[in-house]
A and B are shown apart, each in its own frame.
Chain A
Amino acid sequence: MSIEVKNISYTYMAKTPFERKALENVTLTIEKGEFVAIIGHTGSGKSTLAEHLNGLLVPSTGEVCVDGVNLKGKGNDVRLAKHKVGIVFQYPEHQIFAETIYEDIAFGPRNSGKAEKEVEIQVRNAMQFVGLDYDLFAQRSPFQLSGGQMRRVAIAGVIAMEPDYLIMDEPSAGLDPVSRDAIFTQLMAVFKKRDIAVILITHSMEEAAQYADRLLVMSKGQIAIDGKTSEVFKEQRGTLQEVGLDVPESIKLTDLLCAKGLKIEGQALTKEQLVEYIKKAKGWS
């Protein structure tokens, strides 16, 4: 039960003067139950990689398999395999089209041929996950919502398809901190409740550190680092800085405090953890 990416490369607008190599020899495997963050600068190929994972883009060379099915084909098994991978695009609220929120969220489940009764259940569940009250919102127009609410509708539209692999492309871009936290809390709830893999694409190291168990660092279309989050911060700091990233602020602050003589044990991946460690070191708790 995994997505296997074998040695893929992809070039946009091949054979024109605008040719641009976006991915080069990328190989990786993502198992169900993993929470992976793909992190890298703008233009490093994160979104391009994501679009390969459910067959929206076909690699120039190499292959992508979902649960053992090569996405290159056209058969029914390929269609089903693609439906297992849900992808929430950057600014997903721009894809909303239906008259009511219900209709928009139901679009995906209906396309995978579910009966109307089942569709309703899935819409209800999805709305609950993203924290939109069914009775209050289901029949309202999605275009009267705030930006954050619209994004939740769009995310619900993907969650309603009950994917086994959920890809989120910069879900927090352009949101206020409260909406952002809400979305991540709900994402964690989906992740914990159902046995799925979450692939979070972000360029914020803080977000990656807080939520992901595994880090995939991309640079210039290649995978620069692939490892457990805590180990990457411990052992690969140099490589991170080489590709223009760094460890999260909380770890930087830990180092500064240690240099000043405070004895902090362990790795503070979030600012909350750091506060705990400081309290412990000072003997305040």
Chain B
Amino acid sequence: MLADITLGQYYPGTSFVHKLDPRTKILATMSFIVAVFLAVSATSYVILVSFVLGVIFLAKLPVILVVKSIKPLWIIILLTMCIHLLTGQGEVIWSWKFISVTKEGLSMGVMMSLRLVLLLIISSILTFTTSPIVLTDGIESLLKPFKRVGVPAHELAMMMTIALRFIPTLLEETDRIMKAQMARGAEFTGGNIIARAKNMLPILIPLFISAFRRADELAIAMESRCYRGGEGRTCMHELVYANRDILAATGIIVLILFIAFLKWGGELCAI
């Protein structure tokens, strides 16, 4: 019933991208996002899109799965497209009554929605190819240098691990409670908004109770194993960079340089 949520789901595999160090992947994703915002020309978008396609291919992800990750935001993407289409100024290429579409508006709309799509896809590729636990290990390790300025790196990572760990559990629990109430004749569709909200109570109340119970049990379990925060803790799986990380880093740096050159290269040459 709730199995349609794909964003943030891990797709197990053993590809080159799966095996990369999480820190490499996180930094590469952030660099790619910067690259997306630097890109202005059509050429740079062609390069970015081919790069993403290349990564999907390398990660051996089914294209359908990746496309599905756009689903939660497709309305916003469509809206962005429309707003730019209808409000652009410049050379009119098509008009009907008071609506006119300009060349500039069209290219702006395509660019903006393409940006959104690229951002969504690249971050889903990160979560598809990195298991939540490894991902938080990576985040913790990247945040460590900021400990000195008061960032509680370990605590943040632990909170994220726990949250990620419990998302599927809570979804499963919701599914179970829904089924149990449906077996008692509850119906969750139909009726107006108030009726629907009221119908949700038999799901939400048991769900909250079980979430609190789980939180309580987890806290006790952690304390009884002497958990006391990040001070002096070591990792079971130490993260180490491998040659493939250098390869991937080189790839993304070349990409950024290329995009930056396309944006500023002309000015550089002029000087």
Contacts and interface: CB of A to CB of B under 8 A. Distances in A.
Nearest to A154: B180
A84 to B, nearest CB: 11
14 contacts: A17-B11, A56-B183, A83-B185, A85-B183, A86-B183, A89-B180, A95-B176, A95-B181, A98-B202, A107-B184, A111-B185, A111-B187, A143-B209, A161-B185
Contact of A54 (B3, B183, B203, B206): B183
Dominant SS among interface residues on chain A: mixed
Given A95-B181, A107-B202, A17 B187 contact: no
B12 interface: yes
Contacts of B201: 97
A86 B201 CA distance: 21
Interface string A140-169: 000100000000000001100100000000
Contacts of A259: none
B179 interface: yes
- Please tell me the size bucket of the interface on B: 20 to 34
- Please tell me the size bucket of the interface on A: 20 to 34
A157 B202 CA distance: 13
Interface in B144-190: 173, 176-177, 179-187
B41 interface: no
A87 B185 CA distance: 11
A51 B179 contact: yes
Interface of A: 13, 17, 51, 54, 56, 83, 85-87, 89, 92, 94-98, 107-108, 111-112, 143, 157-158, 161
Contacts of B50: none
Given A87-B180, A94-B177, A95-B180, 9 more contacts: A17-B12, A51-B179, A86-B183, A87-B183, A89-B179, A94-B209, A96-B206, A157-B184, A158-B184
Given A94-B210, A95-B206, A89 B176 contact: yes
Q: Which 10 A-B pairs have the closest CB atoms?
A: A111-B185, A108-B184, A95-B180, A97-B205, A97-B202, A87-B183, A56-B179, A89-B180, A112-B185, A97-B206
